[in-house]
Structure 1
Amino acid sequence: MAGHQNKLVDEIEKALAKSEGLALKDLLFSYKGIPYPSTVCSAETFQAMENLEARKDDIVVVSYPKCGANWLIQILHDLIFTTLQKKNETSELPFFECGDPEKYQRLKQFPSPRILATHVPYDMIPKSIFKNKAKILVLFRNPKDTAASFFHFHNNVPSIPSYSSWDEFFSEFMNGKVSWGSYFDHAVAWNKHIEDENVQILIYEDMKENLASAVKQIADFFGISPKAEQIQSIADRASFQAVRDKSQETHGSVGPILFRKGTIGDWKNLFTEAQNQQMDAKFKESLGGTKLGAMLKYDVHCKA
């Protein structure tokens, strides 16, 4: 496992090194109308990604950036290793759109079950994932904390280009001009597939509130049957604080920033009243009255 982690850290460090000295305007490139970071994504990789050969037993994690995907991946690694006594040796960058076009050939060599993660929107997901009925975990976090966390990530990682201010970032976030595009477009698309047989929606705030319950929900979804004490043990090891404490070891220098705070309500330190009103209106317009909107408990987590 240590060797696997060292390889993963090397991949993350290489990706960060490519950002060194880049201006924000040079970081993003557009593919099918959506901005992506040129340091980890390329048009060639996206084209090759369409040929990703999914397996029925793949574990697919989908999220918008900064919704807790790296945390969920850690939980899944632990769940698979503890319950199935298997090691997942994938030393690629965890998100399948990130890396070189040849990575899909390398992924063929990895043993099952593979954890495949992505931030791409619904209609960019390789068709074989749906065709082969791989199970998909879709993780959402309330949009205000997502935006706040995304801003801090950009402005706290020394090698990644920064925004000049929170106001600048907020405007770009609301207009879908940040990496991986619009949070709201991402959410609206998935809301249409919330009842799909092979889809399980997870909510970040619910995981924070009762991690053992979330671990059991995930295990049930994948047909894994850990004992009650195993579930609790995984939840204890995967608490946000525990994962954060090991983040330098698992993710290198960027680890403590990837797992920065993990709190609910940190948005209150950044949002102005006008920004609150703007996002409240956008949420209502996009997700008001929807199943996903109800699951996100917006009034609980996003009202001052």
Structure 2
Amino acid sequence: MAKEWPGFVYRGCFFTNCGYNIETVKSNPMDQWDIRPDDVVVVTYMKSGTFWMLNLLSSLYTDLNLLLSSTKKVVRLDQFYDDPGCVPGSYGKHAKAMRESLVEMPSPRLLYCHMPFQFFPRAWQDGEKKCKIIYIARNPKDVCVSYYHFMQGFPWAGMDLNWDEWVRAFVDGKVWYGSWLDHVLGWRRFGLEDNVLHVTFEDMKRDLKSVLVKVAEFLDRPKSDEELDDVVKKCSFASMSQGVEFYRRVSSLGDENSFLNSVQHLRKGKVGDWKNHFLVSQNEFFDREITVKAEKHGLKLVHNMLRHGISPRSAIIPTLELLCHAMAKEWPGFFYRGCFFTNCGYNIETVKSNPMDQWDIRPDDVVVVTYMKSVGPCLRGWQSVVWIVVGSRVRMATLGLEDNVLHVTFEDMKKDSKSVLVKVAEFLDRPKSDEELDDVVKKCSFASMSQGVEFYRRVSSLGDENSFLNNQNNVQHLRKGKVGDWKNHFLVSQNEFFDREITVKAEKHGLKLVYNM
């Protein structure tokens, strides 16, 4: 069973054991909020642009009362559900003060909340009382990454999951405020007729002024172009992230005396940064469990700004990325005749002398040619028939049977070893019976070889017991041999770069690459 964040589920939402008391949660404490028609409430799932919007609104409308008088901190309505006694410092004090003095806060008030809709006051849900709600949605992959980094500053919360465990907890809704999908879909039921305006973090990043125009119309408080331009300039995400004064000044987490001051308030705010954190396998899991379901409900998720033509400079991004890779740390070595040789292990003068000319090629020599780690020495058990595998270089692929070169693939060997052996036997003009083929397939399957590396140790120059490379910690002779295991190692950003530079070019040359069985 996967490691989980200790907590409990109530009315479809997850609450952690530390920070919440189940009896308090069940009492619907948010009913204490004295909802007013001129209250402006920013509602978000965690890490979706909350304080960015609060800063924008308080800058655009200076008459909005943002701070609780007793603590000089912004009011987060879901603190009604917090257990103040569980959290020491200014955070706990503010939660207690908010319950006691919110009613004394003068109108109009600017508040925020992270709770799912079902925890809003019954009077609001029944339509008896209304306020102005601005709901911000952000693509869940960037939310997941930002949320994970944010939680590193909460040691008291008992969240000691690693990144992979966090991704699964997030997908399962076993994090604060529950499932992202349930949260967004729940609030999506409400529209302008309910005094709820929906905007997205991605739209704010793309065209902040247009979003502010919508907000001003929604609040029925229009602003001039000059006023909007001024606020956009002062409150862009870049400006806020360079200085976190606003967050520190108004957030109950930002007080200098709070042990929560170590929280990373504003990170990158970049659309698509998830690609530098998600492994391909994690991304596929996430897509199955969230993206596909979200799209079935009509949600259009923007996981990458470039894909939607938002960046006017998108055409030069690949070039810039290549430049970064060119400047990255490299393995010291040299190129000769289109091939890379490392400084350690090769001498350029020896390489240039074409020493392989010393090989006395014979017509009955059988040579296995591969790019590194494409097959390994799978010769065990049937010495008269060997695997014939040509590496992945396009130039090599131009040679065929007329040149005495047989092409097979590792993936075909994994899928149907016997069929490949039949081809090899025909190529060598040395046919074998079904019984002989079946026996070799059984003895020499990759699984059999990887369980015991006797053959490798016996025939490989790396496997000699006196070789310093014999240490299993230094050389892992046979690993998994699993088709598709790359997904557990490649980040999505790395995979996209790899596809641009290798996969696309290979397919243009007619190579059909099998990345997943």
Task: Please report the TM-score for the alignment, with normalisation by the length of structure 2.
Answer: 0.48
Q: Please give the residue correspondences for 1:35-50 in structure 2 after superposition, counting only pairs within 5 Å.
A: 35-37=14-16, 41-42=20-21, 43-44=23-24, 47-50=28-31
Which one has the bigger helix percentage? 1
Structure 1 counterpart of 2:199, one-letter code:
L
Q: For 1:272, which of 263, 276, 279 is the aligned residue?
A: 279
Structure 1 counterpart of 2:271, one-letter code:
I
Deviation at 1:186, TM superposition (A): 0.8
Q: Please give the residue correspondences for 1:142-221 in structure 2 after superposition, counting only pairs within 5 Å.
A: 142-156=139-153, 161-194=158-191, 196-221=193-218
- After TM superposition, the structure 1 stretch with the greater mean CA deviation from structure 2, 202-211 or 235-244, is 235-244
Aligned residue number for residue 233 of structure 1: 230
CA 73–56 in structure 1, closer or farther in 2 if over 3 Å, else same = same
Aligned residue number for residue 64 of structure 1: 45
CA 272–180 in structure 1, closer or farther in 2 if over 3 Å, else same = same
Indicate whether 1:79 and 2:57 are aligned: no
Q: For 1:119, which of 110, 114, 121 is the aligned residue?
A: 114
Deviation at 1:155, TM superposition (A): 2.3
- Distance in 2 separating the partners of 1:238 and 1:255: 23
Indicate whether 1:297 and 2:295 are aligned: no
- Distance in 1 separating the partners of 2:196 and 2:51: 19
Aligned residue number for residue 98 of structure 2: 103
Structure 1 counterpart of 2:131, one-letter code:
A
Deviation at 1:273, TM superposition (A): 1.3
Aligned CA RMSD, in angstroms, stands at 2.8
CA 74–159 in structure 1, closer or farther in 2 if over 3 Å, else same = farther
Aligned residue number for residue 15 of structure 1: none
Structure 2 counterpart of 1:282, one-letter code:
E
SS in structure 2 of the partner of residue 276 of structure 1:
helix
| Residues 151, 263 of structure 2: 8 Å contact kept | no
Deviation at 1:255, TM superposition (A): 8.1
Q: For 1:88, which of 66, 91, 98 is the aligned residue?
A: 66
- After TM superposition, the structure 1 stretch with the greater mean CA deviation from structure 2, 176-185 or 246-255, is 246-255
Q: For 2:13, which of 34, 37, 43 is the aligned residue?
A: 34
Identity of counterpart residues, as a percentage? Answer: 28
Deviation at 1:164, TM superposition (A): 3.9
- Distance in 1 separating the partners of 2:18 and 2:59: 29
Rg comparison, structure with higher value: 2
1:209-244 Cα offsets, whole Å, 9 max, x none, are: 111111121111101122111111111111112222
CA 194–163 in structure 1, closer or farther in 2 if over 3 Å, else same = farther
1:194-217 Cα offsets, whole Å, 9 max, x none, are: 464411111001101111111121
Deviation at 1:289, TM superposition (A): 4.2
SS in structure 2 of the partner of residue 36 of structure 1:
strand
- Distance in 2 separating the partners of 1:219 and 1:122: 24
CA 151–66 in structure 1, closer or farther in 2 if over 3 Å, else same = same
Aligned residue number for residue 6 of structure 1: none
SS in structure 1 of the partner of residue 240 of structure 2:
helix
Deviation at 1:163, TM superposition (A): 3.2
Q: For 1:287, which of 280, 294, 317 is the aligned residue?
A: 294
- Distance in 2 separating the partners of 1:194 and 1:255: 37
- Distance in 2 separating the partners of 1:190 and 1:86: 24
CA 193–298 in structure 1, closer or farther in 2 if over 3 Å, else same = farther
- Distance in 1 separating the partners of 2:224 and 2:263: 31
| Residues 137, 199 of structure 1: 8 Å contact kept | yes
SS in structure 1 of the partner of residue 107 of structure 2:
coil
CA 37–232 in structure 1, closer or farther in 2 if over 3 Å, else same = farther
CA 154–195 in structure 1, closer or farther in 2 if over 3 Å, else same = same
Structure 2 counterpart of 1:281, one-letter code:
R
Deviation at 1:51, TM superposition (A): 2.6
Deviation at 1:133, TM superposition (A): 2.2
Aligned residue number for residue 9 of structure 1: none
Task: Please report the TM-score for the alignment, with normalisation by the length of structure 1.
Answer: 0.79
CA 249–136 in structure 1, closer or farther in 2 if over 3 Å, else same = closer
- Distance in 1 separating the partners of 2:244 and 2:19: 20
SS in structure 2 of the partner of residue 108 of structure 1:
helix
- Distance in 2 separating the partners of 1:282 and 1:272: 15
Deviation at 1:172, TM superposition (A): 0.6
- Distance in 2 separating the partners of 1:206 and 1:219: 16
- Distance in 1 separating the partners of 2:30 and 2:188: 24
Aligned residue number for residue 53 of structure 1: 34
SS in structure 2 of the partner of residue 181 of structure 1:
coil
Unmatched runs of 5 consecutive residues or more in structure 1: 1-23
Higher relative contact order (CA 8 A, sep 6+): 1
Deviation at 1:259, TM superposition (A): 0.8
Deviation at 1:297, TM superposition (A): 3.3
CA 41–161 in structure 1, closer or farther in 2 if over 3 Å, else same = closer
| Residues 49, 101 of structure 1: 8 Å contact kept | no
| Residues 66, 74 of structure 2: 8 Å contact kept | no
Deviation at 1:166, TM superposition (A): 0.7
